Amino acid sequence: MTASIGRRTALSLPLAALAVSAGRARAQQKEAFRFGALMPTTGPEAGYGLDFVKTYEMAVKDINDKGGVNGHPLEMLVLDTQAKPEIAINAANKLIDVDKVPLIITAWSSVVKAAAPIGNRTKTLELNMGANSPDIANLGDYVYTVFPLAEVDVTALAKYTYAKLGKKRAAVLYINNDTGIGGAKIYRDVFTAAGGEVVAFEGYDPKATDFTGVLLKARVGNPDVVHIHGLSELPQVIAQMRQLGMQQQITSYSAGYNPKILSQLGPAAEGLIVTSLAPTSAANPNVAKLLELWKQVGRFPNGLPYLQYAWDSTVVVAQIYGWVDKNGLPLTGENCRKALLAIREFDLPMTGKLVIRDDHRIDKPVYLYVVKDNKFVLLDTVA
């Protein structure tokens, strides 16, 4: 009887260990500090979501290998959101009520927004580490971002295009969803305010595959730059534009900073300008370490700059927990918020300095890349 129970316990242990996955290596003696992560691990966005999760696991393991948070192991609980708000709401409630986490990291605008009322109500700190919708700054006292919102890179890009590249007439094409509309509007406003003229402003359906009409409409306005604020369909839009013989300068934002674009477009990608919000391995040796860890996974990750923020947001969590623990406070969402505002300035391994501002926004240098000989080459840095 006892033996069989013993065996069952033994069997269930590896599973449990898998679930909490990272950590526990060194700091077994002290109670674990837990935090929650709401990520799409299924659905159309899971390609990025799963790589975020993987990176958190790496970062948590790294922290625990170095002794954890004041000797406490850090432990992460991941729940799937499918990047859908209604699923995220339930998952957030489970993390807060069942698992009692004081802090949740998350991404994807609709998920951040859906979880915000719960965070505010239950006084649980919610950190956005990947969504860039401008509304995120106004979601309440318990929602902060450690990722620069859209205005940071789009503003820099629009100003740069007008002032440095000397482009006066811009056509703006965008995917008709949250990301596309938000980004395109900022671009239009900034470009117009700088003195340029927006000659076409067209959104296309997220499910569209034929962009001929939109592109021709843009061409009629005779632009000298076309800004495309799209997502995974971005390569197709560019391909069709080049196939139609439109040779204008193309710009995009951080979604375009993706090696897949180079292989899908080949020579057609030449001259494309995109943004990135994180330094490369050449500029920051820590990034090389992250890439090394990914080599063990056996493939190149999706959206490396985002993953740098993913890693750093884990470090932010550890520092917050460290501050709360050092000050002898109970680990609650309220104290986590207090810690975030008390620390204010974080020096982070992958993305450099982070300053939390009272308006819930952050500033970051913007790296502009241009495609040259089928490679992304650093064009300029806008600080």
Partner 1 sequence: MTDPVILLQILWTGIAMSSYFVLFTVAFALTLKVEKLWNFAQAGLMGIAFYTMFYTLNAVHWPPWLGVGAAVVLTAAVSIAVEVWAIAVLRRRHSSGLIFFIFTLIFSQLVAFVLTLMFGTEPETIFPSVMSPVRIVGGVAMSDWDLQALGVTVVLLAVLYWLIRHTRDGQFMLAVADNDKLAEIYGISAKRAYLLSGIIAAVLICAGVYLYGTRAGVTPDVPIGLVLTAVIATLVGGLGRIFSAAIAAVGLALLQSFSILFIPAKWQALLLYFVLFFALVLFPRGIPVWRIRRAKPLAPIAVAQAGD
Partner 2 sequence: MEYLANAGMLIGIYIILAASYNLIIGYGGLNTIAHPIFFALGAYTAALLGIGTTLPSVVCVLAGIGVAVVASVALAVTTLRIEGDYLLIASLGFQLGLLQLVNNFEFTGGPSGLSNIPVTITGPGRGWLYLLICAVLVVVVVWLIWRAMAGPFGRAVRAMRDDELACAALGRSLITMKIVIFAFGCGAAGLAGGLYAYYFQYISPEQFNVAQSATILTMVVLGGIGTTWGPLIGAFVLVALPQAITFMQLPSSLVGPLQGIIFTVLVILFLFVRPHGLVGRREAGVAH
Q: What sections of the chain are H helices per DSSP?
A: 2-20, 46-65, 85-93, 109-122, 150-163, 178-194, 212-220, 234-243, 259-265, 285-297, 304-326, 333-343
For 254, the token pair is: 């951080």
Q: Smallest distance, Å, CB 245 to partner 1?
A: 6
Q: How far is CA 251 from the centre of its chain?
A: 20
Return the number of the residue (14 or 267) whose C-beta is nearest partner 1.
267
Contact of residue 354 among partner 2, partner 1, none (CB under 5-8 Å per partner type): none
Q: Smallest distance, Å, CB 279 to partner 1?
A: 24
Rule CB under 8 A: which residues touch partner 2?
12, 15-16, 18-19, 21, 40-43, 46, 50, 53-54, 57, 76, 78-80, 82, 84-86, 89-91, 93-94, 96-98, 109-110, 113-114, 116-117, 121-122, 133, 135, 138-139, 176-178, 181-182
Contact (CB, 8 A) for 356 and 148: no
Contact (CB, 8 A) for 178 and 133: yes
Return the number of the residue (92 or 287) whose C-beta is nearest partner 2.
92
Return the number of the residue (264 or 280) whose C-beta is nearest partner 1.
264
Locus of tokens 């494309």:
272
Of 253, 353, 265, 250, the closest CA to residue 303 belongs to 253
- How far from 126 is each of 29, 44, 121, 328, 363, CA to CA, in Å? 28, 23, 12, 22, 19
Q: Smallest distance, Å, CB 53 to partner 2?
A: 6
Return the number of the residue (34 or 219) whose C-beta is nearest partner 2.
34
Rule CB under 8 A: which residues touch partner 1?
42-47, 50, 176, 202-205, 207-210, 212-214, 216-217, 220, 232-233, 235-236, 239-240, 242-245, 260, 263-268, 302
Of 278, 319, 306, 286, the closest CA to residue 35 belongs to 319
Could you give phi then psi for residue 15, rounded to 5 degrees? -60, -50
Return the number of the residue (5 or 15) whose C-beta is nearest partner 2.
15
For 253, the token pair is: 């934002």
Q: Smallest distance, Å, CB 330 to partner 2?
A: 17
Q: Smallest distance, Å, CB 231 to partner 1?
A: 9
Return the number of the residue (106 or 335) whose C-beta is nearest partner 1.
106
